[in-house]
Structure 1
Amino acid sequence: MDYSTILTLCGFSLLAGFIDAIIGGGGLIQTPAILFTLPQYPVPTLLGSTKIPSLSGSLMGAFQYSRHVAVVGKFIAPMMVMAFGASWLGSWTLTRVPNSFMKPFALVILIAVFIYTLTKKDFGQATSQYVSARQQRIRMWTMGVGIGFYDGFFGPGTGSFLVLGFIALIGFDFLKASAHAKLVNAATNLASTLFFISEGKVLYAVAFPMAVANLSGAFLGARLAILKGNRFIRVFFLLVIATTILRFAWDLVQ
């Protein structure tokens, strides 16, 4: 594998980390890039090789947000544990059953999310509702299991779904939702990373340089999101959702 190939993948990974740290969706850039650049390798190995960069970016994003945004620690830690277990189960399930039905299902949800966010101007602009501690616990833990399994089983759009869930179900604004989403996404990425490593499906010569690039992009993206605030993140959220919709729609018509 020549250096130009690795540098190209690192460029895509840098951009993926940047976008993912702001609102999620970095996999829409990083995954197609490695699939098209290294078509000679099996798809599971290529997908496994993107998990280490994704994990690095998630950890950097989580660290940056945690320094500036208060998190609900007593609930987020159990949520991360549940998401970790659910993601591992999702990855295991993926190796045994097809996941083709997920794209149409996710496409419908994403279209509804896009329309709702576009028309509701104040969505995610401020903490919008009071949710009791008991309801926060139930909703966050349910999200951890459901979205964690989705991430391990299918993946694209996980970060955006987490942000949406924290806003719609918990009442967070975009900035606080992004901070919590990165913590949970780090847990799901860790589970998938360990799973693919245990299966021997990682190209370390590609994964490690991409991890450095993704981490760097995540640092810049998180800092920019913190600096610009909720309105900026909302615009990014709509762009990522729109891109995800187009990607899924394109895949379905092929």
Structure 2
Amino acid sequence: MDVSLQVLTMLFFVAGAAGFIDAMAGGGGLITLPALLAAGVSPAQALATNKLQSSFGSFSASLYFIRNGHVKLKEMGLAIVCTYIGAATGAELVQRIDASVLTTLIPGLLISISLYFLLAPQTRRDSSKQPLNPLWFALTVGTCIGFYDGFFGPGTGSIFAVCFILLGHCNLVQATARAKVLNFTSNIAALTFFLIAGLPIWKIGLVMAVGQFLGGRLGAKVVIAKGQKWIRPLVIIMCLIMALKLLLEQYQQWFQSIF
């Protein structure tokens, strides 16, 4: 795919902003995936390239959290394994779906996940209840959300964080740190299968990866609750705009085919 310098520059800054936002509040994929689709990348290649570049952002944030003692990998071994299996399954399944189906499905998924985050109430941990058993957490949350990330992806970090708060009774920093580790796991699992299929566009993916890495490192340093108050609405609005744009393009092509 031939990509202009202007488009690559735009995608670099989009990825940097997404990495920053993703480390703080999750939902970076709600920006990068629509941006890739708007740049003319096919749905399957957009999903694969998005995984390539987002892996660098989630790795950057995960490394920062691990080095600063906010998460211990030994305590998350089973969740990591289940997440990997779920994501690998989702990535394999999405490759078997017809491209035209994906083109129709993606805008609807973007709108649905955006509305969920827009309408979801403020999440707080309940210390009066027992946290979910780590085994069941890994088997249910790890596998299911991993599958979602392998199949589609945007919003995965936020969903993981919510589960760690509600079911694991973690505070905001702990939930964000653990969510990043599992998000990186699912990214790598899906990316492995996409690489085998030769789907990622390397020129775009690597340029965006640099932006993701820088944004993810910066965002991890400023993980605070206040950030979610203004960043998340902006992410959701941008995502809805891009989803509507994709829908309008689809219906325009449909009307042109009829008339």
Gaps of at least 5 residues in structure 1 are: none
Cα distance in structure 2, aligned partners of 1:18 and 1:134: 30
| Correspondence list, 1:67-82, <5 A | 67-71=67-71, 73-82=73-82
Q: Which residue of 2 aligns with 1:48?
A: 48
Equivalent residues in 2 for 1:180-219 (5 A)?
A: 180-219=178-217
How far did 1:243 drift?
5.8
Q: For residues 232 and 162 of structure 1, what CA distance do their matches in structure 2 show?
A: 18
- Cα pair distance change 1:216/1:43, threshold 3 Å: same
The structural deviation recorded for 1:137 is 3.2
**Separation (CA, whole Å) in 2 of partners of 1:34 and 1:108:** 19
Alignment partners' CA distance in 1, 2:53 and 2:214: 10
CA deviations 1:169-193 (Å, max 9, x no partner) are 1111222111111000001110111
Conserved 8 A contact 1:162-1:181: yes
CA distance 1:194–1:13, shift in 2 (3 Å): same
Cα pair 1:114 1:242 within 8 Å, conserved = no
Corresponding residue number in structure 2 for 1:232 = 227
Q: Which residue of 1 aligns with 2:220?
A: 222
1:162 counterpart residue number: 160
Could you say if the C-alpha distance between residues 57 and 109 of structure 1 is closer, same or farther in structure 2, counting changes exceeding 3 Å? Answer: closer
Which amino acid counterpart does residue 212 of structure 1 have in structure 2?
A: V
Q: Deviations over 1:144-167 (max 9, x none)?
A: 101000111122211111111111
Partner residue, 1:4: 6
Over 3 Å counting, the alpha-carbon distance change for 1:223 and 1:190 in structure 2 is same
**1:244–1:42: structure 2 CA closer, same or farther, 3 Å change rule?**
closer
> CA RMSD, aligned part only?
2.9
Match of 1:159, SS? helix
Structure 2 gaps, min length 5: 252-259
Relative distance call for 1:244 and 1:217 in structure 2 (3 A) is same
Q: CA deviation at 1:249?
A: 7.5
- Counterpart mapping for 1:104-119 below 5 A: 111=115, 114-117=118-121
Task: Give the distance between the partners of 1:196 and 1:207, measured in 2 at CA.
Answer: 12
Corresponding residue for 1:178? 176
Partner of 1:19: 21
Partner secondary structure for residue 215 of structure 2:
helix
TM-score (structure 1 length as normaliser) = 0.81
Q: How does 1:61-100 map to 2 (within 5 A)?
A: 61-71=61-71, 73-97=73-97
Contact persistence 2:24–2:227 (CA under 8 A) = no
Aligned residues: 243
> Compared with structure 1, are the counterparts of its residues 171 and 26 closer, same or farther at alpha carbon in structure 2 (3 Å cutoff)?
same
Distance 1:129 1:73, change over 3 A: farther
Return the alpha-carbon distance in structure 2 between the equivalents of residues 177 and 46 of structure 1: 28
How many angstroms apart in 1 are the aligned matches of 2:230 and 2:126?
Answer: 19
**Which 10-residue stretch deviates more, 242-251 or 56-65?**
242-251
